[in-house]
Chains A and B, each alone.
Chain A
Amino acid sequence: MITLNRRKALGLMGGAVTAAGLATPALSQNKKITVGALRFTSHSGSFVAVERGYFADAGLDVELKFFQAAQPMAVAIASGDVDYAVTAISGGLISLADKGAIKVIGGALSEEAGIDGQKILASDAAFNAGLTSPAGLDGKSFGMSTAGSSFHYMGSKVAEAEGVTVKFKPLQKVGAIIGALKSGQIDAWSIVPHIAKPLAGSGAVHIIGSIADYLPDYQVTTVFTSTQNASDEKAMTGDFLAGFSKGVADYNAAMVDKTGGAEDETAMVDLIHKYVYTDRPREKAAPSIINGSMRLNAGAALNMGSVEDQLNWFKSENLVDAKVTLETLVDASYVETT
Protein backbone atom coordinates (compact mmCIF):
# COMPACT_ATOMS: atom_id res chain seq x y z
CA MET A 1 0.00 0.00 0.00
CA ILE A 2 1.36 3.37 -0.94
CA THR A 3 0.98 6.12 1.56
CA LEU A 4 1.34 9.60 0.23
CA ASN A 5 2.30 12.09 2.90
CA ARG A 6 2.62 15.80 2.49
CA ARG A 7 6.33 15.90 2.00
CA LYS A 8 6.29 13.24 -0.68
CA ALA A 9 3.49 14.96 -2.46
CA LEU A 10 5.40 18.21 -2.44
CA GLY A 11 8.46 16.44 -3.80
CA LEU A 12 6.46 15.01 -6.66
CA MET A 13 5.04 18.37 -7.46
CA GLY A 14 8.48 19.90 -7.39
CA GLY A 15 9.61 17.29 -9.92
CA ALA A 16 6.73 18.22 -12.17
CA VAL A 17 7.63 21.86 -11.94
CA THR A 18 11.24 21.14 -12.87
CA ALA A 19 10.16 19.06 -15.82
CA ALA A 20 7.86 21.81 -16.98
CA GLY A 21 10.68 24.31 -16.56
CA LEU A 22 12.88 22.33 -18.94
CA ALA A 23 10.34 22.51 -21.68
CA THR A 24 10.12 26.27 -21.52
CA PRO A 25 13.12 28.55 -22.30
CA ALA A 26 15.72 27.97 -19.65
CA LEU A 27 15.87 31.59 -18.60
CA SER A 28 16.74 32.06 -14.93
CA GLN A 29 17.16 28.28 -14.48
CA ASN A 30 20.86 28.85 -13.75
CA LYS A 31 21.69 25.57 -15.44
CA LYS A 32 25.24 24.28 -15.04
CA ILE A 33 27.04 23.53 -18.31
CA THR A 34 30.64 23.05 -19.36
CA VAL A 35 32.13 24.85 -22.34
CA GLY A 36 35.40 23.67 -23.83
CA ALA A 37 37.97 26.14 -25.10
CA LEU A 38 41.52 26.48 -26.33
CA ARG A 39 43.56 29.48 -25.27
CA PHE A 40 43.27 31.17 -28.67
CA THR A 41 41.75 34.56 -29.48
CA SER A 42 39.38 32.78 -31.86
CA HIS A 43 37.64 31.42 -28.75
CA SER A 44 36.93 34.90 -27.45
CA GLY A 45 33.19 34.56 -28.03
CA SER A 46 32.97 32.27 -25.01
CA PHE A 47 35.42 34.34 -22.93
CA VAL A 48 33.41 37.53 -23.43
CA ALA A 49 30.09 35.80 -22.78
CA VAL A 50 31.41 34.46 -19.49
CA GLU A 51 33.10 37.68 -18.38
CA ARG A 52 30.23 39.99 -19.28
CA GLY A 53 27.56 37.69 -17.92
CA TYR A 54 25.86 36.95 -21.25
CA PHE A 55 25.67 33.25 -20.44
CA ALA A 56 24.28 34.04 -17.00
CA ASP A 57 21.70 36.33 -18.64
CA ALA A 58 20.72 33.34 -20.78
CA GLY A 59 20.26 31.28 -17.63
CA LEU A 60 23.42 29.26 -17.94
CA ASP A 61 26.06 28.73 -15.28
CA VAL A 62 29.05 28.14 -17.54
CA GLU A 63 32.26 26.51 -16.45
CA LEU A 64 35.08 26.90 -18.98
CA LYS A 65 37.26 23.87 -19.43
CA PHE A 66 40.57 24.38 -21.20
CA PHE A 67 42.26 21.93 -23.53
CA GLN A 68 45.71 21.75 -25.12
CA ALA A 69 44.41 20.59 -28.48
CA ALA A 70 41.17 20.35 -30.44
CA GLN A 71 41.20 16.57 -30.67
CA PRO A 72 40.69 15.74 -26.96
CA MET A 73 38.10 18.49 -26.75
CA ALA A 74 36.06 16.84 -29.50
CA VAL A 75 36.32 13.53 -27.67
CA ALA A 76 35.20 15.21 -24.43
CA ILE A 77 32.09 16.50 -26.20
CA ALA A 78 31.42 13.02 -27.55
CA SER A 79 31.77 11.52 -24.08
CA GLY A 80 29.47 14.16 -22.57
CA ASP A 81 32.12 15.72 -20.32
CA VAL A 82 31.86 18.99 -22.20
CA ASP A 83 28.64 20.45 -23.60
CA TYR A 84 29.74 23.02 -26.19
CA ALA A 85 33.00 23.98 -27.83
CA VAL A 86 34.55 25.67 -30.81
CA THR A 87 36.94 23.90 -33.15
CA ALA A 88 38.10 23.64 -36.72
CA ILE A 89 36.43 21.11 -38.98
CA SER A 90 38.71 18.12 -39.13
CA GLY A 91 38.53 14.48 -40.14
CA GLY A 92 38.21 13.55 -36.48
CA LEU A 93 35.24 15.85 -36.01
CA ILE A 94 33.47 14.43 -39.05
CA SER A 95 34.21 10.90 -37.88
CA LEU A 96 32.65 11.60 -34.51
CA ALA A 97 29.61 13.10 -36.24
CA ASP A 98 29.42 10.00 -38.42
CA LYS A 99 29.35 7.90 -35.26
CA GLY A 100 26.37 9.90 -34.10
CA ALA A 101 28.27 11.58 -31.28
CA ILE A 102 28.46 15.24 -32.23
CA LYS A 103 26.82 17.93 -34.36
CA VAL A 104 28.03 21.23 -35.73
CA ILE A 105 25.47 23.84 -34.73
CA GLY A 106 27.00 27.16 -35.77
CA GLY A 107 29.95 29.05 -37.18
CA ALA A 108 32.72 30.70 -35.20
CA LEU A 109 35.66 31.95 -37.23
CA SER A 110 35.66 32.87 -40.93
CA GLU A 111 38.02 34.20 -43.50
CA GLU A 112 36.60 37.48 -44.78
CA ALA A 113 37.74 39.70 -47.59
CA GLY A 114 39.42 42.80 -46.22
CA ILE A 115 40.30 41.31 -42.87
CA ASP A 116 43.71 39.83 -42.22
CA GLY A 117 43.26 36.06 -42.14
CA GLN A 118 45.40 32.96 -42.01
CA LYS A 119 48.86 33.22 -43.53
CA ILE A 120 50.97 30.89 -45.62
CA LEU A 121 54.50 30.70 -44.23
CA ALA A 122 57.84 29.60 -45.68
CA SER A 123 60.93 28.68 -43.71
CA ASP A 124 63.90 31.01 -44.04
CA ALA A 125 65.94 28.42 -45.92
CA ALA A 126 63.15 27.64 -48.37
CA PHE A 127 62.41 31.36 -48.80
CA ASN A 128 66.03 32.08 -49.64
CA ALA A 129 66.00 29.17 -52.06
CA GLY A 130 63.15 30.80 -53.95
CA LEU A 131 59.94 29.87 -52.16
CA THR A 132 58.57 33.40 -52.19
CA SER A 133 55.01 32.66 -53.25
CA PRO A 134 52.68 29.67 -52.97
CA ALA A 135 53.28 29.01 -56.69
CA GLY A 136 56.73 27.71 -55.75
CA LEU A 137 55.43 25.02 -53.40
CA ASP A 138 55.91 22.17 -55.88
CA GLY A 139 57.80 19.32 -54.21
CA LYS A 140 58.10 21.25 -50.93
CA SER A 141 57.20 19.85 -47.52
CA PHE A 142 54.17 21.33 -45.78
CA GLY A 143 53.63 21.04 -42.04
CA MET A 144 50.43 19.80 -40.46
CA SER A 145 49.43 18.42 -37.08
CA THR A 146 47.93 15.22 -38.43
CA ALA A 147 46.36 13.94 -41.58
CA GLY A 148 42.81 15.20 -41.75
CA SER A 149 43.52 18.41 -39.84
CA SER A 150 42.55 21.87 -41.07
CA PHE A 151 46.22 22.43 -42.00
CA HIS A 152 45.99 19.43 -44.30
CA TYR A 153 42.86 20.88 -45.89
CA MET A 154 44.36 24.33 -46.38
CA GLY A 155 47.64 23.00 -47.76
CA SER A 156 45.81 20.72 -50.18
CA LYS A 157 43.54 23.48 -51.39
CA VAL A 158 46.42 25.88 -51.95
CA ALA A 159 48.41 23.20 -53.78
CA GLU A 160 45.40 22.33 -55.90
CA ALA A 161 44.83 25.93 -56.87
CA GLU A 162 48.49 26.39 -57.77
CA GLY A 163 48.60 23.07 -59.63
CA VAL A 164 51.50 21.79 -57.53
CA THR A 165 52.11 18.81 -55.29
CA VAL A 166 53.38 19.20 -51.75
CA LYS A 167 54.61 16.61 -49.27
CA PHE A 168 52.68 16.77 -46.00
CA LYS A 169 54.65 16.21 -42.79
CA PRO A 170 52.55 15.21 -39.77
CA LEU A 171 54.12 16.71 -36.63
CA GLN A 172 51.27 16.24 -34.13
CA LYS A 173 51.53 19.54 -32.32
CA VAL A 174 51.62 23.20 -33.31
CA GLY A 175 54.75 23.65 -31.20
CA ALA A 176 56.53 20.91 -33.10
CA ILE A 177 55.48 22.43 -36.44
CA ILE A 178 56.81 25.84 -35.41
CA GLY A 179 60.11 24.26 -34.34
CA ALA A 180 60.42 22.33 -37.58
CA LEU A 181 59.63 25.44 -39.64
CA LYS A 182 62.11 27.61 -37.77
CA SER A 183 64.90 25.06 -38.14
CA GLY A 184 64.11 24.50 -41.80
CA GLN A 185 63.09 20.86 -41.35
CA ILE A 186 59.90 21.67 -43.24
CA ASP A 187 59.43 24.27 -45.97
CA ALA A 188 55.94 25.70 -45.50
CA TRP A 189 52.87 25.93 -43.28
CA SER A 190 49.68 27.92 -42.83
CA ILE A 191 48.42 29.37 -39.55
CA VAL A 192 46.24 32.02 -37.97
CA PRO A 193 47.69 35.54 -38.08
CA HIS A 194 48.30 35.96 -34.36
CA ILE A 195 50.87 33.15 -34.59
CA ALA A 196 52.04 33.91 -38.15
CA LYS A 197 52.88 37.58 -37.63
CA PRO A 198 55.18 37.30 -34.60
CA LEU A 199 56.98 34.38 -36.27
CA ALA A 200 57.53 36.38 -39.43
CA GLY A 201 58.59 39.35 -37.32
CA SER A 202 61.40 37.31 -35.78
CA GLY A 203 62.82 36.73 -39.27
CA ALA A 204 62.93 32.95 -38.91
CA VAL A 205 60.03 32.51 -41.33
CA HIS A 206 58.42 34.53 -44.09
CA ILE A 207 54.80 35.17 -44.99
CA ILE A 208 54.34 34.23 -48.65
CA GLY A 209 50.60 34.36 -49.05
CA SER A 210 47.12 34.45 -47.53
CA ILE A 211 44.66 31.60 -47.24
CA ALA A 212 41.83 33.98 -48.05
CA ASP A 213 43.17 34.26 -51.61
CA TYR A 214 42.53 30.55 -52.08
CA LEU A 215 39.61 29.92 -49.75
CA PRO A 216 37.51 33.10 -49.55
CA ASP A 217 34.84 32.81 -46.85
CA TYR A 218 36.57 29.71 -45.46
CA GLN A 219 34.61 28.58 -42.40
CA VAL A 220 37.65 27.98 -40.21
CA THR A 221 36.03 27.01 -36.94
CA THR A 222 32.53 25.98 -35.93
CA VAL A 223 30.50 25.67 -32.76
CA PHE A 224 29.62 22.09 -32.00
CA THR A 225 27.94 19.99 -29.33
CA SER A 226 26.85 16.46 -28.65
CA THR A 227 24.11 15.03 -30.82
CA GLN A 228 22.07 14.59 -27.67
CA ASN A 229 22.29 18.27 -26.75
CA ALA A 230 21.46 19.25 -30.31
CA SER A 231 18.35 17.09 -30.53
CA ASP A 232 17.08 16.81 -26.94
CA GLU A 233 18.25 20.02 -25.26
CA LYS A 234 17.11 22.48 -27.86
CA ALA A 235 16.29 25.17 -25.30
CA MET A 236 19.64 24.95 -23.60
CA THR A 237 21.45 24.91 -26.93
CA GLY A 238 19.51 27.93 -28.10
CA ASP A 239 20.36 29.73 -24.85
CA PHE A 240 24.02 28.88 -25.27
CA LEU A 241 24.12 30.22 -28.81
CA ALA A 242 22.33 33.38 -27.71
CA GLY A 243 24.88 34.08 -24.99
CA PHE A 244 27.76 33.11 -27.24
CA SER A 245 26.51 35.40 -30.02
CA LYS A 246 26.41 38.38 -27.67
CA GLY A 247 30.02 37.72 -26.79
CA VAL A 248 30.89 37.46 -30.46
CA ALA A 249 29.13 40.73 -31.24
CA ASP A 250 31.12 42.55 -28.55
CA TYR A 251 34.33 41.04 -29.83
CA ASN A 252 33.70 41.98 -33.46
CA ALA A 253 32.72 45.51 -32.50
CA ALA A 254 35.81 46.04 -30.36
CA MET A 255 38.47 44.19 -32.31
CA VAL A 256 37.39 43.80 -35.95
CA ASP A 257 35.06 46.68 -36.79
CA LYS A 258 36.55 48.91 -34.06
CA THR A 259 33.25 50.77 -33.63
CA GLY A 260 33.87 51.24 -29.92
CA GLY A 261 37.12 53.17 -30.24
CA ALA A 262 40.43 52.66 -28.46
CA GLU A 263 38.86 52.45 -25.02
CA ASP A 264 36.66 49.55 -26.04
CA GLU A 265 39.61 47.77 -27.62
CA THR A 266 41.70 48.18 -24.48
CA ALA A 267 38.95 46.76 -22.32
CA MET A 268 38.56 43.82 -24.72
CA VAL A 269 42.31 43.12 -24.76
CA ASP A 270 42.29 43.14 -20.95
CA LEU A 271 39.42 40.67 -20.97
CA ILE A 272 41.02 38.33 -23.49
CA HIS A 273 44.37 38.52 -21.74
CA LYS A 274 42.78 36.81 -18.76
CA TYR A 275 42.59 33.71 -20.97
CA VAL A 276 45.13 34.02 -23.76
CA TYR A 277 48.90 34.58 -23.44
CA THR A 278 48.47 34.59 -19.70
CA ASP A 279 52.16 33.76 -19.33
CA ARG A 280 53.15 37.08 -20.88
CA PRO A 281 52.77 40.58 -19.43
CA ARG A 282 49.88 42.52 -20.87
CA GLU A 283 52.01 44.90 -22.94
CA LYS A 284 53.63 41.95 -24.70
CA ALA A 285 50.38 40.05 -25.12
CA ALA A 286 48.41 42.97 -26.48
CA PRO A 287 50.00 43.20 -29.97
CA SER A 288 49.50 39.47 -30.50
CA ILE A 289 45.90 39.68 -29.40
CA ILE A 290 45.27 42.69 -31.64
CA ASN A 291 47.17 41.19 -34.60
CA GLY A 292 45.21 37.98 -34.32
CA SER A 293 41.81 39.58 -34.64
CA MET A 294 39.69 37.75 -37.22
CA ARG A 295 35.98 38.05 -37.79
CA LEU A 296 33.85 35.76 -35.65
CA ASN A 297 30.57 34.85 -37.31
CA ALA A 298 27.84 37.19 -36.15
CA GLY A 299 24.97 35.25 -34.64
CA ALA A 300 27.14 32.14 -35.06
CA ALA A 301 26.06 32.09 -38.69
CA LEU A 302 27.43 29.14 -40.60
CA ASN A 303 28.77 29.12 -44.15
CA MET A 304 27.31 25.87 -45.42
CA GLY A 305 29.06 26.19 -48.76
CA SER A 306 32.44 26.15 -47.11
CA VAL A 307 31.48 23.32 -44.75
CA GLU A 308 30.30 21.26 -47.68
CA ASP A 309 33.49 21.93 -49.60
CA GLN A 310 35.52 20.79 -46.60
CA LEU A 311 33.40 17.69 -46.13
CA ASN A 312 33.79 16.80 -49.79
CA TRP A 313 37.53 17.26 -49.61
CA PHE A 314 37.82 14.96 -46.56
CA LYS A 315 35.75 12.38 -48.41
CA SER A 316 37.79 12.65 -51.59
CA GLU A 317 40.99 12.14 -49.60
CA ASN A 318 39.46 9.02 -48.11
CA LEU A 319 39.96 10.48 -44.64
CA VAL A 320 36.33 9.99 -43.69
CA ASP A 321 33.61 7.62 -44.76
CA ALA A 322 32.25 8.49 -48.22
CA LYS A 323 28.67 8.06 -46.93
CA VAL A 324 28.77 10.97 -44.46
CA THR A 325 26.22 13.63 -45.46
CA LEU A 326 26.09 17.30 -44.62
CA GLU A 327 23.01 16.58 -42.47
CA THR A 328 24.98 14.06 -40.43
CA LEU A 329 27.58 16.70 -39.69
CA VAL A 330 25.46 19.81 -39.25
CA ASP A 331 22.26 20.59 -37.38
CA ALA A 332 21.27 23.72 -39.31
CA SER A 333 18.17 24.43 -37.24
CA TYR A 334 19.82 26.83 -34.78
CA VAL A 335 21.54 29.53 -36.78
CA GLU A 336 21.38 31.41 -40.01
CA THR A 337 23.21 29.60 -42.79
CA THR A 338 24.62 30.87 -46.03
Chain B
Amino acid sequence: MSEAPDTARRVAFRGGGFAPTPRRFVGAAVFILLIVLAEIGTRTGVISPLTLPKPSDVLATFGDLYRSGLLWKHLGPSLSRLAVGATLGVSLGISVGILIGLFSYIRAGLVPLVAALFPIPKIALLPLFVIWFGIDEGSKYALIAFGTFTPTVVATYGAVDNVDRTLIRMGQSFGLSWVSIVRKIVLPGAMPGILSGLRISLAIAIILLVAAEMLGAEYGIGAYILEAGALYDLERLFAGVVILSVLGVLVSMAIGLIERRLLVWRV
Protein backbone atom coordinates (compact mmCIF):
# COMPACT_ATOMS: atom_id res chain seq x y z
CA MET B 1 0.00 0.00 0.00
CA SER B 2 2.72 2.45 0.91
CA GLU B 3 4.44 1.83 -2.45
CA ALA B 4 1.31 2.92 -4.28
CA PRO B 5 0.29 6.27 -2.81
CA ASP B 6 -1.35 7.21 -6.10
CA THR B 7 -4.05 4.61 -5.40
CA ALA B 8 -4.91 6.15 -2.02
CA ARG B 9 -8.52 7.18 -1.99
CA ARG B 10 -10.55 8.85 0.67
CA VAL B 11 -13.12 6.51 2.23
CA ALA B 12 -16.45 7.47 0.77
CA PHE B 13 -19.00 8.74 3.29
CA ARG B 14 -22.10 6.60 3.30
CA GLY B 15 -23.64 7.23 6.69
CA GLY B 16 -26.07 10.02 5.80
CA GLY B 17 -29.85 10.13 5.83
CA PHE B 18 -32.38 8.17 7.86
CA ALA B 19 -32.24 10.75 10.63
CA PRO B 20 -35.20 13.12 10.43
CA THR B 21 -34.28 16.55 11.73
CA PRO B 22 -36.78 19.32 12.39
CA ARG B 23 -37.08 21.81 9.54
CA ARG B 24 -39.01 24.84 10.64
CA PHE B 25 -41.51 26.66 8.42
CA VAL B 26 -41.45 23.96 5.74
CA GLY B 27 -44.90 22.76 6.81
CA ALA B 28 -46.27 26.30 6.71
CA ALA B 29 -44.61 26.89 3.35
CA VAL B 30 -46.36 23.86 1.82
CA PHE B 31 -49.71 25.16 3.09
CA ILE B 32 -49.11 28.63 1.74
CA LEU B 33 -47.88 27.33 -1.61
CA LEU B 34 -50.99 25.19 -2.10
CA ILE B 35 -53.29 28.05 -1.15
CA VAL B 36 -51.49 30.47 -3.47
CA LEU B 37 -51.70 27.96 -6.32
CA ALA B 38 -55.42 27.50 -5.71
CA GLU B 39 -55.93 31.27 -5.66
CA ILE B 40 -54.03 31.79 -8.91
CA GLY B 41 -55.80 28.84 -10.54
CA THR B 42 -59.28 30.05 -9.60
CA ARG B 43 -58.56 33.66 -10.46
CA THR B 44 -57.24 32.87 -13.93
CA GLY B 45 -60.04 30.42 -14.54
CA VAL B 46 -57.78 27.39 -14.95
CA ILE B 47 -59.73 25.91 -12.05
CA SER B 48 -63.47 26.31 -12.56
CA PRO B 49 -65.57 27.69 -9.71
CA LEU B 50 -67.37 24.33 -9.68
CA THR B 51 -64.15 22.56 -8.77
CA LEU B 52 -62.67 24.74 -6.07
CA PRO B 53 -63.64 28.02 -4.45
CA LYS B 54 -61.25 30.96 -4.38
CA PRO B 55 -59.26 30.78 -1.12
CA SER B 56 -59.81 34.51 -0.71
CA ASP B 57 -63.58 33.98 -0.99
CA VAL B 58 -63.38 31.26 1.64
CA LEU B 59 -61.57 33.73 3.88
CA ALA B 60 -64.22 36.37 3.18
CA THR B 61 -66.96 33.83 3.99
CA PHE B 62 -65.18 33.07 7.21
CA GLY B 63 -64.99 36.78 7.94
CA ASP B 64 -68.75 37.12 7.35
CA LEU B 65 -69.36 34.17 9.59
CA TYR B 66 -67.33 35.79 12.32
CA ARG B 67 -68.80 39.27 11.97
CA SER B 68 -72.38 38.04 11.87
CA GLY B 69 -71.85 36.19 15.12
CA LEU B 70 -72.94 32.98 13.40
CA LEU B 71 -69.51 31.48 13.99
CA TRP B 72 -70.16 31.26 17.70
CA LYS B 73 -73.71 30.17 17.12
CA HIS B 74 -72.36 27.20 15.17
CA LEU B 75 -69.22 26.62 17.18
CA GLY B 76 -70.92 26.71 20.57
CA PRO B 77 -73.22 23.70 20.12
CA SER B 78 -70.50 21.76 18.31
CA LEU B 79 -67.95 22.32 21.04
CA SER B 80 -70.42 21.35 23.74
CA ARG B 81 -71.35 18.19 21.77
CA LEU B 82 -67.67 17.36 21.41
CA ALA B 83 -66.99 18.09 25.07
CA VAL B 84 -69.89 16.12 26.50
CA GLY B 85 -69.70 13.25 24.02
CA ALA B 86 -65.95 12.83 24.16
CA THR B 87 -65.82 13.20 27.94
CA LEU B 88 -68.45 10.49 28.31
CA GLY B 89 -66.82 8.17 25.79
CA VAL B 90 -63.25 8.71 26.91
CA SER B 91 -63.89 8.43 30.65
CA LEU B 92 -66.02 5.33 30.18
CA GLY B 93 -63.42 3.96 27.77
CA ILE B 94 -60.54 4.52 30.17
CA SER B 95 -62.46 2.92 33.04
CA VAL B 96 -63.43 -0.14 31.03
CA GLY B 97 -59.94 -0.36 29.54
CA ILE B 98 -58.38 -0.38 33.00
CA LEU B 99 -60.83 -3.01 34.24
CA ILE B 100 -59.98 -5.16 31.22
CA GLY B 101 -56.29 -4.61 31.91
CA LEU B 102 -56.63 -5.65 35.55
CA PHE B 103 -59.19 -8.45 35.71
CA SER B 104 -58.96 -11.62 33.66
CA TYR B 105 -62.70 -12.32 33.75
CA ILE B 106 -63.60 -8.86 32.56
CA ARG B 107 -60.98 -9.17 29.85
CA ALA B 108 -62.31 -12.51 28.69
CA GLY B 109 -65.85 -11.13 28.71
CA LEU B 110 -65.36 -7.71 27.18
CA VAL B 111 -62.47 -7.90 24.71
CA PRO B 112 -64.50 -9.83 22.11
CA LEU B 113 -67.40 -7.44 22.64
CA VAL B 114 -65.20 -4.41 22.10
CA ALA B 115 -63.67 -6.05 19.02
CA ALA B 116 -67.20 -6.56 17.71
CA LEU B 117 -68.22 -2.95 18.40
CA PHE B 118 -65.07 -1.33 17.05
CA PRO B 119 -65.65 -1.77 13.31
CA ILE B 120 -69.32 -0.80 13.38
CA PRO B 121 -69.69 2.41 11.40
CA LYS B 122 -71.19 4.50 14.18
CA ILE B 123 -72.97 6.67 11.65
CA ALA B 124 -75.08 3.66 10.67
CA LEU B 125 -76.45 3.58 14.19
CA LEU B 126 -77.50 7.21 14.16
CA PRO B 127 -81.19 6.54 13.39
CA LEU B 128 -81.22 4.01 16.22
CA PHE B 129 -79.64 6.52 18.60
CA VAL B 130 -82.29 9.04 17.60
CA ILE B 131 -84.95 6.59 18.76
CA TRP B 132 -83.05 5.73 21.97
CA PHE B 133 -81.76 9.12 23.01
CA GLY B 134 -84.01 11.58 21.21
CA ILE B 135 -83.39 13.76 18.19
CA ASP B 136 -81.95 16.58 20.25
CA GLU B 137 -78.61 16.59 22.03
CA GLY B 138 -78.92 13.05 23.43
CA SER B 139 -78.34 11.22 20.16
CA LYS B 140 -75.43 13.49 19.26
CA TYR B 141 -73.72 12.94 22.61
CA ALA B 142 -74.32 9.21 22.26
CA LEU B 143 -72.84 9.00 18.79
CA ILE B 144 -69.67 10.86 19.72
CA ALA B 145 -69.38 9.01 23.03
CA PHE B 146 -69.77 5.65 21.30
CA GLY B 147 -67.27 6.62 18.61
CA THR B 148 -64.61 7.60 21.14
CA PHE B 149 -65.35 4.76 23.56
CA THR B 150 -64.01 1.79 21.60
CA PRO B 151 -60.63 3.22 20.52
CA THR B 152 -60.11 4.49 24.06
CA VAL B 153 -60.81 1.06 25.53
CA VAL B 154 -58.38 -0.62 23.17
CA ALA B 155 -55.66 1.98 23.73
CA THR B 156 -56.13 1.85 27.49
CA TYR B 157 -55.97 -1.87 28.03
CA GLY B 158 -53.03 -2.05 25.66
CA ALA B 159 -51.34 0.62 27.75
CA VAL B 160 -52.09 -1.25 30.98
CA ASP B 161 -50.71 -4.46 29.46
CA ASN B 162 -47.55 -2.60 28.57
CA VAL B 163 -46.85 -1.35 32.08
CA ASP B 164 -43.47 -2.72 33.14
CA ARG B 165 -44.25 -5.94 35.08
CA THR B 166 -41.07 -5.59 37.17
CA LEU B 167 -42.47 -2.35 38.58
CA ILE B 168 -45.62 -4.17 39.68
CA ARG B 169 -43.50 -6.98 41.17
CA MET B 170 -41.52 -4.31 42.99
CA GLY B 171 -44.71 -2.83 44.42
CA GLN B 172 -45.81 -6.25 45.61
CA SER B 173 -42.41 -7.01 47.12
CA PHE B 174 -42.69 -3.85 49.23
CA GLY B 175 -46.12 -4.92 50.42
CA LEU B 176 -48.02 -2.11 48.66
CA SER B 177 -51.79 -2.49 48.73
CA TRP B 178 -53.63 -3.40 45.53
CA VAL B 179 -55.16 0.06 45.35
CA SER B 180 -51.75 1.67 45.73
CA ILE B 181 -50.26 -0.49 43.00
CA VAL B 182 -53.06 0.43 40.60
CA ARG B 183 -53.04 4.12 41.50
CA LYS B 184 -49.32 4.71 41.81
CA ILE B 185 -47.83 2.22 39.37
CA VAL B 186 -50.36 0.95 36.81
CA LEU B 187 -52.14 4.22 36.06
CA PRO B 188 -49.11 6.48 35.66
CA GLY B 189 -47.35 3.72 33.74
CA ALA B 190 -50.27 3.43 31.34
CA MET B 191 -50.57 7.20 30.92
CA PRO B 192 -48.41 7.54 27.79
CA GLY B 193 -50.44 4.90 25.99
CA ILE B 194 -53.72 6.37 27.19
CA LEU B 195 -52.76 9.84 25.98
CA SER B 196 -51.69 8.67 22.55
CA GLY B 197 -54.96 6.76 22.34
CA LEU B 198 -56.70 10.00 23.27
CA ARG B 199 -55.22 11.70 20.23
CA ILE B 200 -56.92 9.19 17.98
CA SER B 201 -60.17 9.16 19.95
CA LEU B 202 -60.54 12.92 19.82
CA ALA B 203 -59.77 13.05 16.10
CA ILE B 204 -62.54 10.48 15.66
CA ALA B 205 -64.82 12.65 17.79
CA ILE B 206 -64.28 15.56 15.40
CA ILE B 207 -64.91 13.32 12.39
CA LEU B 208 -68.13 12.10 13.99
CA LEU B 209 -69.29 15.64 14.68
CA VAL B 210 -70.46 16.00 11.09
CA ALA B 211 -72.27 12.67 11.28
CA ALA B 212 -73.82 13.55 14.62
CA GLU B 213 -75.18 16.80 13.24
CA MET B 214 -76.79 15.10 10.25
CA LEU B 215 -80.02 14.53 12.10
CA GLY B 216 -81.93 17.42 13.54
CA ALA B 217 -79.15 19.93 14.17
CA GLU B 218 -80.00 23.50 13.34
CA TYR B 219 -76.68 24.90 14.43
CA GLY B 220 -73.23 23.34 14.59
CA ILE B 221 -70.15 23.20 12.38
CA GLY B 222 -71.22 19.81 11.05
CA ALA B 223 -74.70 21.10 10.24
CA TYR B 224 -73.13 24.14 8.61
CA ILE B 225 -70.95 21.93 6.40
CA LEU B 226 -73.86 19.68 5.46
CA GLU B 227 -76.00 22.68 4.62
CA ALA B 228 -73.23 24.18 2.51
CA GLY B 229 -72.92 20.86 0.69
CA ALA B 230 -76.66 20.74 0.01
CA LEU B 231 -76.60 24.32 -1.28
CA TYR B 232 -73.49 23.53 -3.29
CA ASP B 233 -71.93 26.53 -1.60
CA LEU B 234 -68.25 25.64 -1.85
CA GLU B 235 -67.05 28.72 0.04
CA ARG B 236 -69.07 27.81 3.12
CA LEU B 237 -68.18 24.15 2.71
CA PHE B 238 -64.49 24.94 2.77
CA ALA B 239 -64.83 27.48 5.57
CA GLY B 240 -66.51 24.77 7.66
CA VAL B 241 -63.93 22.15 6.81
CA VAL B 242 -61.14 24.56 7.72
CA ILE B 243 -62.80 25.13 11.09
CA LEU B 244 -62.78 21.38 11.70
CA SER B 245 -59.12 21.15 10.71
CA VAL B 246 -58.22 23.97 13.03
CA LEU B 247 -60.19 22.24 15.77
CA GLY B 248 -58.18 19.08 15.13
CA VAL B 249 -54.89 20.94 15.28
CA LEU B 250 -55.92 22.67 18.51
CA VAL B 251 -56.94 19.39 20.14
CA SER B 252 -53.69 17.78 19.08
CA MET B 253 -51.75 20.74 20.47
CA ALA B 254 -53.65 20.55 23.73
CA ILE B 255 -52.80 16.87 24.11
CA GLY B 256 -49.19 17.65 23.27
CA LEU B 257 -49.21 20.22 26.06
CA ILE B 258 -50.71 17.74 28.51
CA GLU B 259 -48.13 15.17 27.47
CA ARG B 260 -45.31 17.58 28.05
CA ARG B 261 -46.61 18.41 31.52
CA LEU B 262 -47.63 14.92 32.57
CA LEU B 263 -44.90 12.89 30.92
CA VAL B 264 -41.77 14.91 31.72
CA TRP B 265 -40.39 11.74 33.18
CA ARG B 266 -40.27 10.04 29.80
CA VAL B 267 -36.78 9.42 28.52
Contact = CB atoms under 8 A, between A and B. Distances in A.
Describe B's contact surface by its main secondary structure: loop
Contact of A176 (B50, B215, B227, B230): B215
A258 interface: no
Contacts of B218: 167-170
Interface string A152-193: 000000000000000111111000100110010110000000
Contact of A180 (B49, B135, B229): B135
Nearest to A168: B218
A74 interface: yes
B135 A146 contact: no
A147 B50 contact: no
Nearest to A173: B214
A107 interface: no
Interface in B92-114: none
A71 B233 CA distance: 12
A297 interface: no
Interface stretch (B10-18, B21-29, B126-134, B238-246): B126-134
A12 B49 CA distance: 37
Interface stretch (A47-55, A95-103, A235-243): A95-103
B153 interface: no
Interface string B188-222: 00000000000000000000000000111110000
B127 A176 contact: yes
Given A169-B135, A171-B215, A183-B131, 18 more contacts: A71-B232, A74-B232, A91-B231, A95-B231, A146-B226, A146-B230, A148-B227, A148-B230, A148-B231, A168-B218, A170-B215, A170-B218, A172-B226, A180-B135, A180-B215, A180-B216, A183-B130, A185-B131
29 contacts: A71-B232, A74-B232, A78-B50, A78-B232, A79-B50, A90-B230, A91-B230, A91-B231, A95-B233, A96-B50, A96-B232, A100-B49, A101-B50, A141-B216, A145-B230, A146-B226, A146-B231, A147-B227, A147-B230, A148-B230, A149-B230, A169-B135, A170-B226, A171-B214, A176-B127, A179-B131, A180-B215, A180-B216, A183-B130
Interface of A: 71, 74-75, 78-79, 90-92, 95-96, 99-101, 141, 145-149, 167-172, 176, 179-180, 183, 185-186, 319-320
List the 5 closest A-B pairs by CB distance, nearest first: A146-B230, A185-B135, A91-B231, A95-B232, A169-B216
